[in-house]
Structure 1
Amino acid sequence: MRQATVTINRDALQYNLNRVKQLAPKAKIVSMVKANAYGHGLENSLSALAQSDAFGVACLEEAIEIRQLGFNQPVTLIEGVFSEDEMQIVLDNHFECMIHHQQQLDWLRQYKTQYQEKKLKVWVKLNSGMNRLGFKFPEIINVIQSLKADGFECVLAMHFANADSDDHPMNEQQKQQFLQVREACAPILCSCCNSAAIIKWPELHFDYVRPGVMLYGASPFADRSVHDLDLKPVMTFSAEIIALNHIHTGEKVGYGSTVTAEKEMDIAIVSIGYGDGYPRAYVSPNTVVVNDQTVNLFGRVSMDMMSIDVTGLNASIGDAVELWGEQRLVDDVAKANGTIGYELLCRLSNRPVRIVK
């Protein structure tokens, strides 16, 4: 059998959840499990995240899967419903909605009695400058006050655009807008912290925090690794050496013949490629780990295979190759590919075998 595997360490996932609890001991934790738990597998991840106070998803289909798997915690649809007919499904399954435009507000009011009977909270999104979703200031104050007057329990929510940056001026702008709305609408439950904000701004934890990538052992910061943050990588993506080639000076390797041996070299062929979700292009030298040694990729990644330089390593067919995991962090692979760890985790194909431990 072709050896391309994604191993999920549920103990590490639980460890990272407990790390969030240490950082935000007074806040309820809404664990973000959208996009198939950031590519880790929803079913596998929920069992390790069972001590979460609630879950956050992007759409109704993801929320329904949580219920089908037997988890009864509150679930927040962070983009809300996409059509009026979804509202009845929301009510039947006790989901909570984020609202961010007038049409959603109208739909909510049409189901006011049922929504309130089920004691569901309304999450109201503030657009404080990111300009994706939400009501702008000061309109949101009127929205929240009218909802409260109608008997709805509200959660004021916001998302930081630059929480991973220490000195971005938008951070202070967003903070101040959020605090203004919070004061104008008091008393009100509040939530504004993603992974980076949870770590950086404990004074903003308020009632709910929404950890995402930190749960899965990737860093929300470009300059701080998961080890710096006392988090553990949850996913190990690995493959095996399936062939060994000795090449001479001047010989070329791979599609496009883009690399040329400048000396005698041993090249290993690894059973992984972009068909499995490993990125094809990289903007700086990229590496993998073989027998606890870091080695360079050599040439282009193809659909099913890649070539690596194992000169002097005494490598053998069948040796394991860590593409990312404990030794080669997914964030470092992402940096070499000009992207972020989130993308690599989420875009894995279904071809690699999933192993849960």
Structure 2
Amino acid sequence: MRQATVYIDREALQYNLNRVKQLAPTAQILSMVKANAYGHGVKDCLTALSETDAFGVACLEEALEIRQLGDQHPITLIEGVFSIDEMQLAIEHNVECMVHHQQQLDWLYAHQQQYIAQNLKVWVKLNSGMNRIGFKISEIIEVIQKLKASGFTCVLTMHFANADVENHLLNEQQKNQFLAVKQACAPILASCCNSAALYQWPELNFDFVRPGIMLYGASPFADRTAADLDLKPVMTFTAEIMALNQIGVGEHVGYGSTFTAQKDTELAIVSIGYGDGYPRAFIDQNYVVINGKQRPIIGRVAMDMIAVDVTGLNAGIGTEVELWGKQRLVDDVAKANATIGYELLCRLSARPKRK
């Protein structure tokens, strides 16, 4: 049987949640579990995150999956609902909504009595410069004042565009806009810190923090590792050597014959590929870990297989290969592929087994 496996370390997940508590001891924690818990599997993560205060998801389908698993934590839809029918369903399942445009406000007011009766908070999104979703500063104060006058409990929220870059000019603009709206709408609950902002600006933790990637033991910063941040990788992605092959000087490997041996080489063929979600187009040399040693991938990644140079390693068929995890960090694999750890974790296919 093909041995491509994703292992989830629940103790590491709990450890990372406790790191959030240390960084934001007075704030409530909205743990982000969107995109199937960043590819880790919601059902495998809920128990480990049981001490969170609430969950954040992107859409109603993700919220309903959590409810179907029997979890009754508060849930926030960080993109809000996409129709008036979804607003009714959200209320029925005790799910709080973000609002970021007028139509969502109309749907909310159409369900005003039910929403307030359920004691659900309205998360009102400020577009402070990221320019995806949200009300501009010129309109959000009036939106919040009307909501409060109608009996809604509001949470002012925004999202940093460059929280991972400490001195980016837009950070100050975003912070100043957020603080101005918060003051104008006081008293009001507030939330603006994602994983990177938790480390950068503890003074902005306010009432709710929204950790995402840090929960899963990957770094939100390009220049700081998970170990630097005292985080533990939650996912270990492995496969096994399925064949061994000897090639001589001048022989080629893989599609396009992009690798040419400069010496006699022992190849391990590993049962993993882009069909499993392993990245194909690395721009810098990529590595896996075999018997505790980093070994280079050679040639192109195929749909189901990769080739690794194991010369002198004494590896055998069935030997486990760590693709990323505690020895080969997902952030390092991502860097070699000119992307970020978030993408690699989220784009895993359903083929690998999960344990």
Do both proteins adopt the same fold according to a TM-score greater than 0.5, normalized to the shorter chain? yes
* Mapped partners of 1:267, 1:110: distance in 2: 65
How far does residue 138 in structure 1 lie from its aligned partner after superposition? 2.0
* Mapped partners of 1:150, 1:348: distance in 2: 44
Which residue is equivalent to 1:274?
Answer: 274
Q: Which amino acid aligns with 1:15?
A: Y
* Mapped partners of 1:177, 1:290: distance in 2: 50
Which residue is equivalent to 2:107?
Answer: 107
Aligned residue for 1:127, secondary structure, equals coil
Which residue is equivalent to 2:183?
Answer: 183
Which residue is equivalent to 2:312?
Answer: 312
How far does residue 164 in structure 1 lie from its aligned partner after superposition? 0.4
* Mapped partners of 1:87, 1:352: distance in 2: 35
Q: Which string of whole-angstrom CA distances, capped at 9 and with x for unpartnered residues, describes residues 98-134 of structure 1? A: 0000000011001111111111100000000000010
* Mapped partners of 1:119, 1:234: distance in 2: 34
Aligned residue for 2:276, secondary structure, equals coil
How far does residue 184 in structure 1 lie from its aligned partner after superposition? 0.3
Mark the runs of 5 or more structure 1 residues left unpaired by the alignment: none
Q: How does 1:1-357 map to 2 (within 5 A)?
A: 1-355=1-355
Q: Which string of whole-angstrom CA distances, capped at 9 and with x for unpartnered residues, describes residues 121-165 of structure 1? A: 000000000000100012100100111111111000000000001
Q: Which amino acid aligns with 2:308?
A: I
Identity score, percent: 72
* Mapped partners of 1:281, 1:309: distance in 2: 18
Mark the runs of 5 or more structure 2 residues left unpaired by the alignment: none
Q: Which amino acid aligns with 1:84?
A: I
Cα RMSD for the two superposed structures: 0.5
* Mapped partners of 1:10, 1:198: distance in 2: 22
Aligned residue for 1:281, secondary structure, equals coil
* Mapped partners of 1:190, 1:91: distance in 2: 22
How far does residue 193 in structure 1 lie from its aligned partner after superposition? 0.3
How far does residue 84 in structure 1 lie from its aligned partner after superposition? 0.6
Q: Which amino acid aligns with 2:14?
A: Q
Q: Which amino acid aligns with 1:151?
A: G
Q: Which string of whole-angstrom CA distances, capped at 9 and with x for unpartnered residues, describes residues 80-109 of structure 1? A: 000011111011111100000000001100
* Mapped partners of 1:268, 1:32: distance in 2: 38
Aligned residue for 1:203, secondary structure, equals helix
Aligned residue for 2:26, secondary structure, equals coil
Q: Which string of whole-angstrom CA distances, capped at 9 and with x for unpartnered residues, describes residues 55-83 of structure 1? A: 00000010011111111111000000000
* Mapped partners of 1:96, 1:3: distance in 2: 41
* Mapped partners of 1:54, 1:228: distance in 2: 27
Q: Which string of whole-angstrom CA distances, capped at 9 and with x for unpartnered residues, describes residues 164-190 of structure 1? A: 011210111100000000000000000
* Mapped partners of 1:266, 1:46: distance in 2: 43
Q: Which amino acid aligns with 1:113?
A: Q
Q: Which amino acid aligns with 2:311?
A: T
* Mapped partners of 2:7, 2:73: distance in 1: 26
Aligned residue for 1:90, secondary structure, equals helix
Q: Which amino acid aligns with 2:251?
A: E
* Mapped partners of 1:311, 1:146: distance in 2: 70
* Mapped partners of 1:174, 1:312: distance in 2: 54
* Mapped partners of 1:207, 1:317: distance in 2: 53
Aligned residue for 2:350, secondary structure, equals coil
* Mapped partners of 1:225, 1:21: distance in 2: 20
How far does residue 314 in structure 1 lie from its aligned partner after superposition? 1.4
Q: Could you state the TM-score of these two structures normalised by the residue count of structure 1?
A: 0.99
